[in-house]
């Protein structure tokens, strides 16, 4: 047993000694120089002192690096020796079996497609310092671009947005407190009594809302004031705010419309938010048609979005808001139907130009605080300004004060008001110089207008004739009505066409030729005669329907008929004017000669000349029922009676 153990230990000891001797022998044998392990890569430098060729590959003088992919088949020293041999050949060819790839500068021994073929490549070296410096700069530049360029780009975008916000228009609603100097009371608003009566109910509600809420009433959410420009819509809104002791926030609708998307809606939200904090308050939006036009016509959609926000604000009022929206517009037909329905703008008030009584009240308001000469008749001024609005009358009062101040007078007289009316109606006096011949043409032209106006009883009497240039006109004939008229008969319109053509036919009758001075008269003749046929049904055959100009369903035959009817009316007025001027030549010459002497004829001068050359003129005709019922003869125009060869009886129109 012991012998067996000892023999086993001896065997294991011998085996270990043998293994150690083998390992020691392997480790102690030095490896031959230049030997590498299989499939290892090696590199070797190569310096060329002159240009040369390695077969078809041209090499310049420089430093190169030889790279051997598999040093087991070809060592770096062998590759260097082979390359020097290639350079020493004079025939420019590589010895067999070597080949070269000129694109990659790779030399291969044998078939390049053989994966086991020995090969090496040649690469040109650069200066280590320059390479290190160049590579470092490019790397740093690349790193800088990757890190900072996105940050710089975002900073530029932020700067652009801040710059746009800086120059973005900022609008703030104008606030007028009840007791401020800009507030206006009922006594300062005249000539619009019907509108004031409608708005007084809103004032009472805002003053004492509990009294109305006890009866289940609620304040109107919106009130729309519409009518011609200058009739006092803004003044009415300010007066409502003052009388109701409410805050007044005014903003033009045009300030809601901007090129920036969403800005208009944001401004509307801001306006109503500020107004609700100051309730009871009134929000006044002037020129509502700028934002409230019918939706679907805006290309950008910004106006539609702004209008939608306004509709939401009008619907979002609570019962106890004590907030009233007042809108003003000159174009009611242009507004969106959703804006006009009950629940948004509950009341629509038409503000009309003032009548005679209203004009007198407006003149009294605007002359308050102005010194007037004793005897100034404001009622006469009111009669002479028929059809003018409150803004026009305020302008007349201001112009009259300017005329008086220009002449260093201490009070405003009647002649100042007359000069102001002339300035507002006819325009500013011009200093242009016209020749004597043109002055004669203008004098006869205006005399023709005045003659027809005086001979036709349905036409307003001539207040002044002037051949002094004003505005764009070289002369003018000023007809001022003595009363307000709202209806016109066909006979009155025909007589007015005769007056318009009176100047034109006078030029042709006196000088044998026509000028361009009647261009405005011809324009009015075209508009009136067209309206008589297409809108008022005053044609010969077309009497029972309207024919709008934009009705594209109208047939060509109907259009031809409209043109013929219009031409017939204009030609008829031309014939009547020509006959009237020819039959009253002495009065025409008297008007023209007096104008050439004085340049201006007042009403007293006109009445004197008419009395010297003509009989007493008939009174202004009225639109009254025909005597005798349907069997009575129809009323004819005064100019038509003259055309038939006789003077029409008083009352014909």
pLDDT at 509: 93
Q: What does the block give as tokens for 199?
A: 């708005």
Of 25 and 328, more confident: 328
Report the candidate in 440, 515, 497, 447 with the shortest Cα–Cα distance to residue 477.
447
Token pair of 595, please? Answer: 């104008």
CA 601 to chain centre: 46
The more confidently predicted of residues 101 and 440 is: 440
Backbone phi, psi, residue 391, to 5°: -65, -40
pLDDT, mean of residues 609-613: 88
Bridge partners, 470 (sequence order)? 429, 473
Query: What mean pLDDT comes out for the span 325-346?
Result: 86
Query: Which residues make Cβ contacts (< 8 Å) with residue 420, sequence separation at least 6?
Result: 395, 396, 397, 398, 399, 400, 403
Domains, the chain: 42-125 (no CATH), 174-350 (3.40.50.300), 356-426 (1.10.8.60), 436-643 (1.20.58.760)
Q: Which of 482, 418, 475, 419 minimizes the C-alpha distance to 447?
A: 475
Q: Report the Cα 182 to chain-centroid distance in Å.
A: 30
**Mean pLDDT throughout 557-574?**
92
601/467 Cα distance (integer angstroms): 9
Residue 527 has pLDDT above 90, yes or no: yes
**Please, are residues 47 and 63 in contact by the beta-carbon 8 Å criterion?**
yes
Query: How far apart are the C-alpha atoms of 204 and 240, rounded to whole Å?
Result: 10
Alpha helices, H only, 456-555? 490-511, 519-534
- Return the pLDDT at 639: 57
Q: What is the mean pLDDT of residues 164-181?
A: 58
Q: In Å, what is the CA distance from 241 to each residue of 229, 235, 283?
A: 21, 10, 9
Mean pLDDT score, 312-335: 77
Distance CA(416)–CA(400), nearest Å, equals 5
pLDDT (0 to 100) of residue 177? 58
Which pLDDT value is given to residue 161? 81
Please write the tens of the pLDDT for every residue from 352-387: 889 888 999 999 999 988 999 988 889 888 888 888
The pair of structure tokens assigned to 192 is 């619009």
The residue among 207 and 408 whose pLDDT is bigger is 408
Find the helix packing angle between 603-613 and 436-455, rounded to 10°.
70
pLDDT greater than 70 at residue 575: yes
Q: Which residue has the higher pLDDT, 284 or 258?
A: 284
Q: Which of 243, 446, 454, 565 is catalytic?
A: 446
Rounded to whole angstroms, the Cα distance separating 443 from 463 reads: 16
Q: Give the pLDDT confidence score for residue 40 in this predicted structure.
A: 65
- pLDDT over 90 (residue 302): no
Separation between Cα atoms, residue 75 and residue 542, nearest integer Å: 116
Question: b/e map of 312-347 (b: 16 or more CB within 10 Å)?
Answer: ebbeebeeebbbbbbbbbeeeeebbeebbeeebbbb
Q: Which residue has the tokens 């030549």?
A: 585
Least confident segment among 68-77, 141-150, 485-494, 615-624: 615-624
Is the model more confident about 58 or about 6? 58
CB 379 within 8 A of CB 360: yes
Determine the Cα–Cα distance for residues 196 and 189; give it in Å rounded to an integer.
8
CA distance 329 to 202: 19
Which pLDDT score, from 0 to 100, does residue 590 have? 93
Peptide bond into 280 cis (omega under 30): yes
Reduce the secondary structure of 314-326 to three states and give it as a string.
Answer: HHCCCCCCCEEEE
pLDDT value, residue 97: 83
Q: Is the pLDDT of residue 422 over 80?
A: yes
Average model confidence (pLDDT) for the chain?
79
Percent of the chain predicted with pLDDT > 70: 80
pLDDT band at 439 (very low <50, low <70, confident <90, very high): very high
In sign, the C-alpha dihedral spanning 372, 374, 378, 384 is negative
Sign of CA dihedral 18, 24, 27, 30: negative
User: What's residue 628's pLDDT?
Assistant: 44
CA distance 306 to 312: 10
Average pLDDT over residues 311-330: 75
Q: How many CB atoms lie within 10 A of CB 170?
A: 9
- Residue 614 a catalytic site member: no
> Is the backbone peptide bond immediately before 97 cis, with ω within 30 degrees of 0?
yes
Q: Using 50, 70 and 90 to split pLDDT, how confident is the model at 429? A: confident
Quick one: pLDDT at residue 248?
81
State the pLDDT at residue 170: 57
Contacts of residue 322, Cβ cutoff 8 Å, sequence gap at least 6: 206, 209, 219, 246, 279, 280, 281
Please choose, from the candidates 169, 168, 174, the residue with its C-alpha nearest in 3D space to the C-alpha of residue 271: 174
pLDDT value, residue 631: 43
- Among candidates 437, 592, 583, 435, which has minimal Cα distance to 503? 592
Better-scored residue on pLDDT, 417 or 51: 417
216 compared with 549, residue with greater pLDDT = 216
- Look at residue 259 in the predicted model and tell me its pLDDT: 56
pLDDT at 76: 83
Interior angle at CA 73, CA 70 and CA 74, nearest 5: 80
Average pLDDT on 629-644 reads 51
Measured distance CA(581)–CA(455) in Å, rounded: 10
Q: What is the pLDDT of residue 319?
A: 47
Tens of pLDDT, residues 125-167: 765 554 444 455 777 788 788 888 889 999 999 888 887 766 6
- CA–centroid distance for 629 within its chain: 57
Across residues 315-324, what is the average pLDDT? 63
Average pLDDT over residues 204-229: 84
Q: State pLDDT tens for residues 262-297.
A: 677 788 888 888 888 887 788 888 888 888 777 766
């Amino acid at each position: 047993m012991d012998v067996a153990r000892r023999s086993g230990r001896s065997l294991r000891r011998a085996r270990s000694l043998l293994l150690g001797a083998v390992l020691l022998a392997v480790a102690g044998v030095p490896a031959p120089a230049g030997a590498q392990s299989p499939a290892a890569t090696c590199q070797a430098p190569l310096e060329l002192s002159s240009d040369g060729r390695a077969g078809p590959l041209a090499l310049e003088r420089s430093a190169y690096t030889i790279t051997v992919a598999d040093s087991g088949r070809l060592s770096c020293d062998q590759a260097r020796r082979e390359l020097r041999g290639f350079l020493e050949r004079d025939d420019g060819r590589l010895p067999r079996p070597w080949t070269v790839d000129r694109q990659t500068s790779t030399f291969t021994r044998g078939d390049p497609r053989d994966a086991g073929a020995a090969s090496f490549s040649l690469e040109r070296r650069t200066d280590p310092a320059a390479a290190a410096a160049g590579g470092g700069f490019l790397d740093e530049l690349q790193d800088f671009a990757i890190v900072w360029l996105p940050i710089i780009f975002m900073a530029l975008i932020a700067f652009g947005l801040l710059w746009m916000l800086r120059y973005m228009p900022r609008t703030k609603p104008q606030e007028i407190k009840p007791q401020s100097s800009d507030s206006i009371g009922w006594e300062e608003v005249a000539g619009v009594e019907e509108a004031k009566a409608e708005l007084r109910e809103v004032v009472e509600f805002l003053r004492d809302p509990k009294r109305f809420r006890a009866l289940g009433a609620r304040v109107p959410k919106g009130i729309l004031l519409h009518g011609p420009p200058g009739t006092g819509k803004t003044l009415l809104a300010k007066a409502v705010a003052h009388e109701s002791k409410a805050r007044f926030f005014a903003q033009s609708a045009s300030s809601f419309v901007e090129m920036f998307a969403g800005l208009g809606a944001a401004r509307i939200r801001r306006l109503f938010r500020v107004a609700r904090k100051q309730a009871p308050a009134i929000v006044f939006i002037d020129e509502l048609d700028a934002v409230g036009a019918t939706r679907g016509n805006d290309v950008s959609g910004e106006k539609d979005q702004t209008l939608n926000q306004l509709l939401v604000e009008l619907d979002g009022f609570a019962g106890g808001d004590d907030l009233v929206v007042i809108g003003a517009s000159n174009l009611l037909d242009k507004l969106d139907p959703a804006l006009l329905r009950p629940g948004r703008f509950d009341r629509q008030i038409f503000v009309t130009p003032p009548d005679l009584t209203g004009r007198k009240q407006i003149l009294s308001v605007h002359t308050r605080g102005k010194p007037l000469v004793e005897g100034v008749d404001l009622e006469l001024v009111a009669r002479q300004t028929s059809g003018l609005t409150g803004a026009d009358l305020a302008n007349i009062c201001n112009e009259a004060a300017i005329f008086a101040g220009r002449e260093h007078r201490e009070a405003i007289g009647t002649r100042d008001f007359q000069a102001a009316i002339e300035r507002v109606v006819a325009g500013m006096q011009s200093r242009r110089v016209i020749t004597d011949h043109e002055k004669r043409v203008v004098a006869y032209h205006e005399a023709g207008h005045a003659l027809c106006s005086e001979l036709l009883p349905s036409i307003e009497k001539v207040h002044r004739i002037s051949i002094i240039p004003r505005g764009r006109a070289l002369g003018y004939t000023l007809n001022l009505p003595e009363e307000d008229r709202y209806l016109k008969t066909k006979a009155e319109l025909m007589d007015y066409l005769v007056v318009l053509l009176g100047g034109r036919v006078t030029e042709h009758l006196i000088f044998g030729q026509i000028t361009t001075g009647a261009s405005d008269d011809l324009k009015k003749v075209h508009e009136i005669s067209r309206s008589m046929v297409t809108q008022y049904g005053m044609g010969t055959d077309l009497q029972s329907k309207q024919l709008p100009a934009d009705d594209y369903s109208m047939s060509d035959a109907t259009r031809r008929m409209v043109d013929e009817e219009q031409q017939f009316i204009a030609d008829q007025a031309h014939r009547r004017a020509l006959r009237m001027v020819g039959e009253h030549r002495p009065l025409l010459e008297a008007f023209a000669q007096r104008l050439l002497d004085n340049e201006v004829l007042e009403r007293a001068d006109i009445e004197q000349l008419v009395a010297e050359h003509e009989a007493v003129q008939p009174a202004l005709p009225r639109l009254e029922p025909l005597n005798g019922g349907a069997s009575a003869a129809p009323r004819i125009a005064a100019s038509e009676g003259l055309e038939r060869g006789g003077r029409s009886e008083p009352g014909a129109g």
